Amino acid sequence: MAFDPLDRAAAYQRERRRAGADGACALFIGTVRDRHAGQTVTAMTLEHYPGMTEAEIQRSLAEAAGRWAMDDALILHRVGRLLPGDPIVLVAVWATHRGAACDACRYCLEALKSRAPFWKKEELADGTSRWVAGNTPPWAP
């Protein structure tokens, strides 16, 4: 389902966070690129295995909370057919200090991209389509 990442992060903050409680919020917003591997991408379809995907997101959040002094986090990832420029993913982390917020945000994003079971099929300008092979390699801070 389509979403505005900044609106969703702000709404989550209003609903869940005490005003002024955090000194930092780190955000990552990923969007569909219009080029990949030297070809023009006209659309992308994302598929996932729901139970496994949600479990992997929760695991990455728990790992990040064990490593950094983060107060809260929100991860949203779209599935379905998307067009270039559409937001795909939002990772938002709230913490007392910016270092923890930024590091935990990057960790959660990289864990999501390397471990969560998503499959991407790109539609190309020449009328063909292709599956994107493999996940992003793991990141170690």
How far apart (Å, rounded) are the C-alpha atoms in residues 132 and 119?
7
Contact assessment for residue 48 and residue 117, using Cβ atoms and an 8 Å cutoff:
yes
DSSP secondary structure letter of residue 128: -
- Can you give the pLDDT at residue 133? 82
Residue type, 76: L
Radius of gyration, CA atoms only, the chain: 16
pLDDT 10s digit of each residue in the chain, 141 long? 789 999 999 999 888 766 667 789 999 999 999 999 999 999 999 999 999 999 999 999 999 999 999 999 999 999 999 999 999 999 999 999 999 999 999 999 999 998 999 999 999 999 999 999 876 776 666
Residue 127 has which token pair? 């009328």
- Can you give the pLDDT at residue 140? 67
Return phi, psi of residue 6, to 5°: -70, -40
Question: In the CATH hierarchy, which top-level class contains the domain 5-127?
Answer: alpha beta
How far apart (Å, rounded) are the C-alpha atoms in residues 53 and 117?
6
How far apart (Å, rounded) are the C-alpha atoms in residues 27 and 68?
16
Q: Parse the chain into domains and list their residue ranges.
A: 5-127
